[in-house]
Structure 1
């Protein structure tokens, strides 16, 4: 059974356990200085909009998106980062894409980037929101996660028109040391380690797979950082490897961010920032390479 420091093994958390967990969370970095300031610098070149506000106690976090200058009739691309706030390169990779490559797609595609979906969790370097809910299992009707609900509302009118949605994530060593044990404890289940893959991988949609698209992204990212190998069971994080560097989930069924639209092309990136073979700069660059490759393939 779980030996996590909160709760009783085998019993799901109640309000007391959630409150105990929340009291332990500490602000470790600044959304305002690291994310909002970067978005503000981009406002002279692109359209910036606030699509909601996250309220946690007496804290207020504006939820921000960036888009290029839209033209009627062009396909729509959605890029999301920071659904899990602790996954740093998802946030800064999304911002770096806009800064370095956003103008390159003018007249070819209407893109919308939500770089930091979960700002409270970004500051706490955490996977969950303040209610101990995983936003990336909450992209569904009547979502329990305010962050997910706000993004779904932003995208609602575009949902059927999105050609590509790429959702930027990381798999970190803390998944195994903190977040998966916490999840097991929260849900009253035994914790079963499944290892951390060393390298980049993708999550395709098992309900509508696009293997050639996924491999085009893998090929581009491989120029920047290494691709995660399958383990001795032929798996990555407990899921069968369906192609080199690719696993597949039923994205919409699981309430995952990448499954929130009717896009033909969907993928979730997973960078491994704790690898001795990767730097933070490489991780950001890998996310950028993935976005550009995904867009180029979808538009080809």
Structure 2
């Protein structure tokens, strides 16, 4: 073999890293598909632990945010292809949430230079992921009532992020020995400044939804309350909460029926893929709501107290 035909060491290293990233991407896609088929481990229908995010955390800690972003995006595409949800609402929830999560965790890696514990990095990523999902829900529904879901999302993000971060911290030492990586590479001041600004924006993004809604509220007299049904941000019907009604929501495509009985309202039937809006149950307090993202429907109790979301269907 001539000298010109030999593989350069840097080329070999690049090929090895690409192969290792491909292996981790495959693992992330498999975890994504498996978790999509499992029932929720939380009290809220549709909420997930986020096992596939473990791979993203590991990639960011070993190689950096660029590789983490690549894995997060491709994992959503592959997962969407395997589950049939590509370009559906759940795909956009996962894609935007995953990208925001990577940007926040990557920013912490840049600013902290590896000094921030992996558990805290993962918790921040979980919060950012749920914040991205909330932004998608608001963009699709166009109703500020979705912000009432934020306190519950935040409460779920912290323990799930801590669990994923703990697993990542356990796996990282052996993973770094096997895969190598570029952890600890110094960053330019411009990168640190950009990361700092992103973290400031993230902080305000976490705080601002609390100005829109509150988590807990009292009950009210059903004789003075109504059930508002909105489709694509437009009010289509207002039903008395003290009545006995089955209402078919007028949709361009698909079917949804609302039942009002005994001072409570619920989604009786829907053809949305995940059926989360049906499984959520009944609402009865002022400004409680059930949101069905696939059908762009919001069912809420009209009142003058705070807001509380019982379920978001994605």
Larger Rg: 2
Normalised to the residue count of structure 2, the TM-score between the two structures is 0.29
Normalised to the residue count of structure 1, the TM-score between the two structures is 0.30
Looking at secondary structure, tell me which structure has more strand per residue: 1
* Higher RCO, Cα 8 Å, sep 6+: 1
Looking at secondary structure, tell me which structure has more helix per residue: 2
